[in-house]
Amino acid sequence: MGLPDRRSRFWPALAALIGVALTCALGTWQLNRAAEKRALKTRVEAYAAQPAIHVAPAEIPAADIEQRPAEARGMFDPGHAVFIDNRLHHGVPGFHVVMPLRLAGSDRYVLVNRGWIARPDGRREVPAVRTLAGEVTVHGMALVPSTRVLELSDQVTEGRIWQNLTIERYRSAMPLSIQPFVIRQDSALDDGLVREWDPPDFGIERHYGYAFQWFGLAATIVVFYAVTQLRRNRAQTS
């Protein structure tokens, strides 16, 4: 009777040990991710206090300018604008207007997210966007559009209306030489577009929440194992 009894105790203990080790490892990973996001937040806040980087015609590596203030001077090219769909402003559906800016004195462009505009009544129509003639200076934040986006169908572009923007997609669709980032415009221009950008969500609190859940699950496993073993011992001694 001794050997089967030891085996019956060994496997629950092993399962509990594995469960606690796994959940604690996942909780620790979430804490590390929170620390990484907090460090990123600190860097971005430090970047915001720095002078804007001037976007010259020479290509700038995305890593050298991402999340930093940027400025560029040139002429907008409305003919190669795209409209990023399903963007809401105070619950109203509309588009983000992404338009290339031809950098002064060159044939290179930088994409500018000029802001939000309401969708016309016609579902697949693009709105008329007021664009100033001549050279303008644009100020904003340099961002690299994420390639990890959820798209509900393979029809990700319909003319100039796109579900999402990536640098690679734009380069494939448009015959322009562009910088590998987008300037999210903050500066005011008389164009009627809305530029009320949401602050970046680094998800720090979310990672802390996940960590709490994993560590809580580890504690639950320990308590469940202890209670079941206590009941088992009582049943054997009664």
How many residues are there in the chain?
238
pLDDT value for 73: 97
Task: Report how far residue 92's alpha carbon sits from residue 120's, in angstroms, rounded to the nearest whole number.
Answer: 11
The position carrying tokens 């029809």 is 155
Dihedral-angle region of residue 71 (phi above 0 means left; psi in -120 to 50 means alpha; beta otherwise): beta
Task: State mean pLDDT over 61-81.
Answer: 95
CB of 92 closer than 8 Å to CB of 118: yes
Q: Is the pLDDT of residue 54 over 80?
A: yes
pLDDT at 7 over 70: no
To which residue do tokens 């460090």 refer? 39
Q: CB of 89 within 8 A of CB of 116?
A: yes
| Chain CA centroid to CA 122, Å | 30
* Distance, first Cα to last Cα, the chain: 17
Q: What is the pLDDT of residue 40?
A: 87
Question: pLDDT tens across 138-166, in order?
Answer: 999 999 997 655 555 555 667 889 999 99
Greatest distance between any 2 Cα atoms in the chain: 93
Q: Please report, to the nearest 10 degrees, the dihedral formed by the alpha carbons of residues 153, 159, 162, 163 taken in order.
A: -20
Residue 225 has pLDDT above 80, yes or no: yes
| Cα(75)–Cα(188) distance, integer angstroms | 15
Q: Express each pLDDT in 73-128 by its tens digit.
A: 999 999 999 999 999 999 999 999 999 999 999 999 999 999 999 998 756 778 89
Report the C-alpha gap between 226 and 172 in whole angstroms: 60
Mean pLDDT of 212-218: 96
Q: Which sign does the torsion angle of CA 21, 23, 24, 28 carry?
A: positive
Rounded distance between C-alpha atoms, residue 197 and residue 159, angstroms: 26
* CB atoms near residue 72 (< 10 Å): 26
Output the average pLDDT for the chain: 89
d(CA 159, CA 36): 39
